[in-house]
Amino acid sequence: MAMNKNTVLAWATWIMIFVGLGLIALGAFRYDEIAGWGFAAVGFGFFANAWVFNALKGRV
């Protein structure tokens, strides 16, 4: 399987979306104290990075 730059960015985007969802789920369901807010904030940061990676497809 040939991995050019666009497929690498696509894989990275999907991985970051799944990790972001996992972190938000941890913050929402596992941690009831203030640490849950941190997990959710990092999860949304992963979403922001995935958005940037998706926007870079075809331009790099």
Yes or no: say if 37 and 27 are a contact pair by the CB < 8 Å rule. yes
Whole-model pTM? 0.79
The total domain count for the chain is 1
The pLDDT value recorded for residue 59 is: 77
The pLDDT value recorded for residue 21 is: 94
The pLDDT value recorded for residue 8 is: 87
- 5-60 pLDDT, tens digit each: 888 888 989 999 999 999 999 998 888 888 889 989 999 999 999 899 888 887 76
Separation CA 35–CA 13 (nearest Å): 25
Range of the domain at 52: 5-56
Q: What's 30's DSSP letter?
A: I
